[in-house]
Structure formats: C-alpha cells, structure tokens
Chains A and B, each alone.
Chain A
Amino acid sequence: NAGVTQTPKFRVLKTGQSMTLLCAQDMNHEYMYWYRQDPGMGLRLIHYSVGEGTTAKGEVPDGYNVSRLKKQNFLLGLESAAPSQTSVYFCASSYESRGISTDTQYFGPGTRLTVL
C-alpha cells in the first residue's frame, strides 16, 4: 500500500493564479483532511470530508475549495492564490469503525507551495 500520497511535492505560483492539490489514499478510509502548516503555528485544519461527496469547513477555510468525488481522492483548490497562502499543505486520512471515526490520522508527505 502506498498509504497517503500528495501531488505535487512543490509548486511556485504567482499571485492570482489557480491550482489544485491532489490527495490520494489507498486504505479505504472514510475521513480525509487538509491542513496547512506554518512556522510556529502547528497544523491548522482547512477543510475535511467524512465520506465521498461530502465536504465541510475547518478552522481556516477562506480562499480554499475542496471536492471529494471519489472516496480515495480529496482535492484542494486555490482559485486565486495570495502570498498569505504560502505554506506546507498536508493531507491526512482516518478510518471509521462501526460508523464512527477512530481518530488516528495518517498523513501524506506534504506539498510545499510558494506564492510570489
């Protein structure tokens, strides 16, 4: 199993450009999450999904959109990138047992995004 993978690993954007980050997991997990990591601020939840076709806002959702058309994929979109979105983005997933989250999250390798 590859676990949780992210594409791309690095990206440089100009202000106003758009892009999509792809997260894929092959563990049949129900729950998926997008975080951003900034120095001194830990990881902050952007959006999450509790199953195929569902999405919900996290702590810092502004400027981002997400989609979960397939259970194994969770996409994070930036419609008009801003320098404040320069960060490292991590995707994570977790599985459920008997219909509820088991809480343990498995992280992808991260995407380092720079917005000039």
Chain B
Amino acid sequence: GENVEQHPSTLSVQEGDSAVIKCTYSDSASNYFPWYKQELGKRPQLIIDIRSNVGEKKDQRIAVTLNKTAKHFSLHITETQPEDSAVYFCAATTNAGGTSYGKLTFGQGTILTVHP
C-alpha cells in the first residue's frame, strides 16, 4: 500500500519568514495530494490540494508543489503569521476518483510554530 513520509516533524520560524514542509510518497499511481491544518484540539481542515496533472498550485500565502518523477510534494507558506501555528498533515491517495474510494494515507504531521 501507499506510504507517506513527512519532514520535518517540528518547524520553528520567526514571523514573516517562510516555512516549507516536505512529503514523499511510495505509490506512483497516487494522483491526489491534500494538505490539512489542525489547530490544537480542533479537527483537520483542508487548506490546499493538488492533483498530479499540475506541478504547482497557489492560494494567497500558501502554495503546493509536486514532483511526480521524484514522488515528493511540498507545502510552502510565505510571510508566516502566529496564527499559522498548527500541525500540518500531508496525504496521498491512489487512483483518486476511481476504486480507491478516496482513501487517504497521511504523513506523520509537522508541528509549525511561528514566533512573533
């Protein structure tokens, strides 16, 4: 089955700096890669996603890049703010939209701390 590795496990930055979180996946058939943000004691919430037919996607200060050849994808947060502090999870699914039924394999999570 799919295996997703996420690094780093913790990341500490100063407000205004950029933050980058990287994930690698094992199944070359995976073609949907979402990123979730989870604040302390809250539910995971989708912040951005990318499908394998594109290499990059941006939404304001957040961007995701995908390298299918190397089987890795990354989350980039620019101009970080204290409210960006949370746990971030990457995920992958194989054959998205087909018989995978949307089953996601998650990375282990990255605790991001943004210091004012």
Contacts and interface: CB of A to CB of B under 8 A. Distances in A.
Interface of B: 1, 4, 6, 9, 32, 34, 42-46, 49, 89, 93, 96-98, 100-109
A90 B43 contact: yes
Interface of A: 31, 33, 40-45, 48, 50, 56, 58-59, 90, 94, 100-110
Contact of B106 (A42, A102, A108): A42
A40 B101 contact: no
A42 B43 contact: no
Given A107-B44, A108-B43, A110-B43, A43 B89 contact: yes
A45 B105 CA distance: 8
The secondary-structure label for the interface of chain B is loop
A42 B46 contact: no
Nearest to A35: B106
Contacts of A104: 34, 46, 49
Contacts of B105: 45, 59
A42 B46 CA distance: 15
25 contacts: A31-B101, A33-B102, A33-B103, A43-B44, A43-B89, A43-B104, A45-B103, A45-B105, A50-B101, A59-B1, A100-B98, A103-B32, A103-B34, A103-B93, A103-B97, A103-B102, A103-B104, A105-B34, A105-B46, A105-B102, A105-B104, A107-B44, A107-B45, A108-B43, A109-B42
